[in-house]
Structure 1
Amino acid sequence: IMTSRRGTDVYSNFMDYSFYTGESSVSKIDGYAAITNKETFVFPVGDEDRLRPLTIESDAINAMVKCAYFPEDPNNPKSIDGVFSTQRRASEYIAVSDREFWRLEGDVPSRITLTWDEYSNMRAWAEYLSDIKVMGWSKADNQWVNLGNTGTEGGLANGSITSDTFVPNAYEIITLGGNEDDLQTYDTIELDNYYMTPNGDGQNDALVIEGLDRSASNSIQIFDRYGVMVYSKDNYQNDFDGRSNREQVIQRNSGLASGIYFYIITMHDLAQKHQGYLYISN
């Protein structure tokens, strides 16, 4: 099914209890799709050759949401008005894809899941899945901002990422991104393994990274043994106490289960990545 990308007035609408089957690279909506009175949905959008779905999970039922995929450079889009320079970023340490973007219209706070394939070239922006981010062009700030990474699946060739919660109408377009530092060579340093007993006795209650005070700009990600991100923070201050800060972790305020975890801390200003293992004993 083809609809114009020049405007949002013509679209295929999935109303109320409607659904579809058989989506593929040759069976999809090449243009705008919409939903009416739905809370969650996978938009079967793409271009002439590829299926590039977007999944939305909203906090309430949407009166209407519209979505389209654009295999275009946001620096010079052909199908929509405006220029969305990938050099206008809220942080110098994030990078924005110049290969594709999605447009999403809706006024209910939502989380979205985007996918990537070989055309997306995620290896240019990421060394690890944790480096990948959902990026949005903020209408208020007139620049690209980080919409988060609450979970990833797959690998750098093909995979998916889920964002933090945001209001789609606050952003002109949405795309994939990563770390600007992956455009240059970073030294990866293996650190010693850490042991934590977060019981409040003042001994090994927090993850303290030696030498962290040398970096004024850093970020940390911690993963469980299944590769699920359980903690992330920019400008880490040695304050991880065994509790998750990720929405998808059940009972995150109760503390993570005993076991082995893997951490990566990136010191952007020093061009270093530190990684190692962490054992939590409760």
Structure 2
Amino acid sequence: MKKILFSIFYVALTWCNAQTAMYNSGSLQIHSQGQIGFHTDFINDTTFDQNEGLAGFYGNNLLQVQGSIAPTFWDLEFMVPNNVFLQNTVNVRNNTNFVDGNVLTPTNDQTIYLNFLQNGFFNGDSDASKVTGFAAINDRGFFSFPVGDQTQLRPLLLDSEGSTPLAICAYFFENPSSPSSISESFNVNEKVRDIGTVSDREFWIVQSEIPATVTISWNSRSAIGAIPNATLESVIVVGWSKAANQWVVIGNTAQSGDLTNGFITSQAFIPNDFSAITFGTIPLPTDTFAVNNPTLGNYFISPNGDGTNDFLVFDNLSESPNNSVLIFNRFGQKVFEQLDYVDEFNGASNTGNFYLSQDIGLSEGIYYYLVTLNDLELEYQGFIFLDR
């Protein structure tokens, strides 16, 4: 008890004049049986790394940790329902106990994190208490990061091929194409051909210089089942390549579950080569589409407003939304072109000299179409008979 009282008494002497935060600029130390509770903001501007015992953050108001030097604790406890916001890195040498409330860090600053040193570990992580922002590890190769967003724990398991001097991780329940928490964006439509769809629901940032595999999971909120033609076997790990500036396949070594809940383990990769990782799917198999659709056929349209054959409709074209349609007359002149075609052609031209007479439409007769399915690397051609 004497050691506890000594710690509290010393803290009182180092309280800043405004008394809105505890300010440490001296030689404060927590002894092996010591305990200290922070019920206000903590500002650390001096070396504070020889601590033992327990330090805890408590209370109902948002607490902040600030200062120019990162404090290092032995055991640490968080019980602040309205969260603890780290504006300075906090190191933990032994146990971190998550009781209530999240530990927040600036999401646009990867140099501030809750840092688990070589033997650091944690207990009690849950949807209600975890790191919302960046967590880090030092000098170790295997770790499950207790990260998530404000409402859900979404951990990432890192299994490195050796001890990594520093690895950091954060989770974002945001569209990678337009995230609100970070300045960088990762367009889900910028991807290699080996990827069919990139998740627009969530992503992780993980950084390390050592090759590693990661294991990430999905739940109902991830909406994997909403991806067109998704199956468990089609789910893959993808990453935003810093070199290629697009999503590429990282690949997987194991997966389990169903489209509502499951997990996947990646192949080994160097995390520092990627800005973000998430779930993707493989493209639709082109051989299946080609077998089911050896041709798209020849078509008859009569755009007279009677509701029958008024538009040119290609069945199953929705399986390749990244498509193009070109239509030519019998002289080889292009009369219509459309990217991402969805039943637009009604006998009117939208290109070239024929566009000027769009109001009266093209003359009846035989036309030639060329359909390119970029997603499936297929091309079709055929004839259209236009009747007025």
Q: Which residue number in structure 2 is paired with residue 150 of structure 1?
A: 253
Deviation at 1:88, TM superposition (A): 0.8
Q: Which runs of 5+ in 1 are unaligned?
A: 190-267, 271-282
Indicate if the aligned counterparts of 2:136 and 2:168 stay in contact, CA closer than 8 A. Answer: yes
Structure 1 letter corresponding to 2:165: A
CA–CA distance in structure 1, aligned partners of residues 195 and 148 of structure 2: 29
Structure 2 residue 238 is matched with structure 1 residue 135:
yes
Deviations 1:219-267 (A, max 9, x none): xxxxxxxxxxxxxxxxxxxxxxxxxxxxxxxxxxxxxxxxxxxxxxxxx
CA–CA distance in structure 1, aligned partners of residues 289 and 201 of structure 2: 24
Partner of residue 110 from structure 1, selected from 206, 212, 217: 212
SS where residue 150 of structure 1 aligns? strand
| TM-score using structure 2 length | 0.46
| TM-score using structure 1 length | 0.63
SS where residue 119 of structure 1 aligns? helix
Structure 1 letter corresponding to 2:245: N
C-alpha change, 1:188 and 1:155, in structure 2 (3 Å) is farther
Structure 2 residue 175 is matched with structure 1 residue 40:
no
Comparing 88-97 and 155-164, the one that deviates more: 88-97
Q: Which residue number in structure 2 is paired with residue 178 of structure 1?
A: 281
Deviations 1:170-225 (A, max 9, x none): 0011111113439xx97999xxxxxxxxxxxxxxxxxxxxxxxxxxxxxxxxxxxx
CA–CA distance in structure 2, aligned partners of residues 81 and 47 of structure 1: 17
Partner of residue 190 from structure 2, selected from 49, 63, 88: 88
Indicate if the aligned counterparts of 1:93 and 1:181 stay in contact, CA closer than 8 A. Answer: no
Q: Which runs of 5+ in 2 are unaligned?
A: 1-102, 293-375, 379-388
CA–CA distance in structure 1, aligned partners of residues 110 and 116 of structure 2: 15
SS where residue 116 of structure 2 aligns? strand
Deviation at 1:82, TM superposition (A): 2.3
Q: Which residue number in structure 2 is paired with residue 229 of structure 1?
A: none
- 1:1-282 equivalences in 2 (<5 Å): 1-91=103-193, 93-125=195-227, 127-181=230-284
Structure 1 letter corresponding to 2:137: I
Indicate if the aligned counterparts of 1:13 and 1:34 stay in contact, CA closer than 8 A. Answer: yes
Return the structure number with greater relative CO, CA threshold 8 A, min gap 6.
Answer: 1
SS where residue 131 of structure 2 aligns? coil
Deviation at 1:124, TM superposition (A): 2.5
Q: Report the aligned-residue RMSD.
A: 2.3
Comparing 25-34 and 84-93, the one that deviates more: 84-93
Indicate if the aligned counterparts of 2:195 and 2:280 stay in contact, CA closer than 8 A. Answer: no
Structure 1 letter corresponding to 2:117: M
CA–CA distance in structure 2, aligned partners of residues 178 and 93 of structure 1: 6
Q: How many residues align?
A: 191
CA–CA distance in structure 1, aligned partners of residues 218 and 290 of structure 2: 27
